[in-house]
Amino acid sequence: MYVFILILYVVIRHGNPRNSSCFKKYCHCSYLNLKASCFSLAYIPNIPDYSKTLELTNNKFSHIDSDLFRNVSAVFRPLYRVKKVNCRKNNIVNVLIDEAGFRTVEQLDLTSNNIYSIPNFCIGEKSLAPNLRVLTLNNNAIRYLEHISFKCLYRLEELRLDSNRLTTLGNNVFIYLKSLKLLTINVAPRLASLSPLVFNSSSLEKLKFSNNGFIFDRCYSAKCKRYDVDSVFLDLELSKNFLPDSASLLYRMFSPLIKLQKLNLHAASLEILPENLFQKMQNLRILILTGNKLASWTLNTFASIPSLRTLYLSGNLIHTINKTSFPLDVLFSLELLDLSQNPYGCNCDLKWFVDTIRETNMSKRLSNWPTRYTCSYPNELKRLWLKKYRPTIESCTPWDPTDTIIVFVSASALLGAWFANYEFDAFIVYCDADRHWVHGELLKRLEDLNLKICVHYRDFEPGQPITSNIENFMNKSWKIIVVMSNNFAKSEWCQWELCLVQERRRRKGKDAMVLIMRQQIDSKHMTSPLRTLLYTTPYLKLKIGLGQNIFWKAVIQGVKKTYSDPPMAISCI
């Protein structure tokens, strides 16, 4: 037998409302605000009949003996004047509504109880809450929704289902809500599947589906039908989930959203921005892409959304902003642009960006400028504000070939002295998932030849930030060995290290590194910096086995050779 927890019993009184009773020890009643608030009750008091808002918070209803109310046919009795009912933190398990129902109630808040199923708001086809506009069921124990769960709530405009125990959402569960405008399903870590038509609604304009850790790739597998978000959405939030890492899947997911005005994809594990992703969103004004893994995009990515006025890109892996990052008309039409907290490389690639900020009024529209725009590398400029970084035309002008020859000849005589100043022969950049091969094969072979190799698990200084250790020990190493694989390409840390490697190559030439491709990298994991590195550096493809000795000989030669030798890149496949 279910134990139904009594929430309230309202006695409608007659006469002068100013003289209506209020249980003053545990209730506060205000005729001015037309409100009654009660707490710490073990039974139900009378409340004034002028009350339009009723708050019952932190009561003791869960300890009431159900036999005391065995003649009460339902939990809620008729509320002829009350329009707003807040019933939070009362340990309510079930909610029963009688035929009279909530005739005038427009807002019902049942947050932080133990409700495990949606209350029945119907008697036949008749609504027991005909005027209900806002229903809040946050922080309960609701495990599933049926397609008839919200039947008879014809006027409901806002539905909040945050922090419940939902594991799956089926097709058409909100289809009866013909007036629904706002739906929130946040903090649902147990949610594992969405049916293709879960958000099928002709009226829904705003969906908040965030902080769920939901993996959208699941709905694109061969065994799963395509997941659709409805084209009527004006405001969509999918932050703190896992979006697909495929351009085609992202396009299939977002292309129907032609009416969208605001899109929030904060911390959604985005690594790429396909250039046609926003092409059909001609009304998009606010785009939030903070906290992802974006490093670059094409000029056309933002060219297709002329209505864009606010763009957040802070906390990504952006190393530089140049002429190809934004069309100028889009850039200067933005009212707010946030590019803060990115690992900027202070080199000539960034000259256009800092010059543009300095020469225009762009800084007025840059959020968090200048304090959160700093150099991440090279080491000598680390933490310098971009505002203070001033590369000159002369320093960024390519050398004349004649000057190069002169400098090259002079530098060759000093190579031996340079080598003697390094503490390590090589620093290995690799992904932790590849550590067994690195430690068991690569490190062993190099150290058997008395080469001194730096690896982080053994040589880093304890207590120092990992970023400082990486930069310091790279600077102490003669060569840098980069072990590339799919794991490497997917690793945020490895991509950051790769930027340091490229900065070193810019300063010391291609011979400052030895590239080993341990595993062919899939196109879906290929990043722009990695693609640039592979396109500009030739490498040999050599299978393990018959050519193994040649491979290891080439690796060792690459570590030992002087910077004056031709570049060395090796592929071990």
Q: Is the dihedral of CA 349, 354, 357, 359 positive or negative?
A: negative
Between the CA of residue 181 and those of 155, 174, 222, 230, 504, what are the distances in Å?
10, 11, 33, 13, 54
Find, among 46, 44, 50, the residue nearest to 30 by Cα.
Answer: 50
Task: Show Cβ contacts of residue 72 under 8 Å, excluding neighbours closer than 6 positions.
Answer: 6, 9
Q: Is the dihedral of CA 294, 298, 301, 303 positive or negative?
A: positive
Whether omega for the bond prior to residue 327 falls within 30 degrees of 0, making it cis, is: no
Helix 528-536 vs helix 492-508: angle between axes, to the nearest 10 degrees? 40
Find, among 564, 488, 568, 556, the residue nearest to 526 by Cα.
Answer: 488
- Phi and psi at residue 536, to the nearest 5°: -100, -5
The pLDDT value recorded for residue 363 is: 92
Six token digits for residue 93: 């398990």
Six token digits for residue 360: 């225009």
The pLDDT value recorded for residue 537 is: 65
Find, among 139, 96, 113, the residue nearest to 8 by Cα.
Answer: 96
Kind plus residue range of the DSSP H or E element containing 554:
helix 548-560
Six token digits for residue 80: 């002829």
Per-block average pLDDT, block size 10, for the chain (573 residues)?
35 39 64 65 57 63 35 42 81 76 84 91 89 96 92 96 95 93 96 88 94 79 47 91 90 90 96 90 96 91 91 96 90 95 93 92 94 93 94 72 44 47 90 87 89 87 79 90 89 82 80 85 80 67 68 85 56 48
Q: Compute the distance between CA of residue 110 and CA of residue 163 in angstroms, rounded to an integer.
A: 13
Q: Compute the distance between CA of residue 169 and CA of residue 143 in angstroms, rounded to an integer.
A: 10
Between the CA of residue 149 and those of 99, 193, 292, what are the distances in Å?
17, 18, 36
Tell how far CA 458 is from the center of its chain: 33
Six token digits for residue 440: 């068991």
The pLDDT value recorded for residue 385 is: 96
Six token digits for residue 526: 């290929």
Tell me, what amino acid is at 28? H
The pLDDT value recorded for residue 523 is: 80
**Which stretches does DSSP call E strand in 475-539?**
477-484, 513-517
* CATH architecture, range 401-572: 3-Layer(aba) Sandwich (3.40)
* 123 in Cβ contact with 147 (< 8 Å): no
Q: Compute the distance between CA of residue 180 and CA of residue 183 in angstroms, rounded to an integer.
A: 8
Tell how far CA 202 is from the center of its chain: 28
The pLDDT value recorded for residue 314 is: 97
User: For the whole model, what pTM was predicted?
Assistant: 0.65
Q: Compute the distance between CA of residue 206 and CA of residue 168 in angstroms, rounded to an integer.
A: 20
Find, among 113, 129, 109, the residue nearest to 121 by Cα.
Answer: 129
Q: Compute the distance between CA of residue 379 and CA of residue 438 in angstroms, rounded to an integer.
A: 26
343 CB-side CA count, 13 A: 22
Q: Compute the distance between CA of residue 334 and CA of residue 332 in angstroms, rounded to an integer.
A: 5
Place of tokens 């000259």: 351
Six token digits for residue 174: 């909100």
Q: Compute the distance between CA of residue 77 and CA of residue 81 in angstroms, rounded to an integer.
A: 12
Map out the domains of the chain as residue ranges.
205-397, 401-572
Fold (topology level) of 205-397? 3.80.10
The pLDDT value recorded for residue 317 is: 94
Dihedral angle computed from the Cα positions of residues 202, 208, 214 and 220, in that order, rounded to the nearest 10 degrees: 30
DSSP 374: B
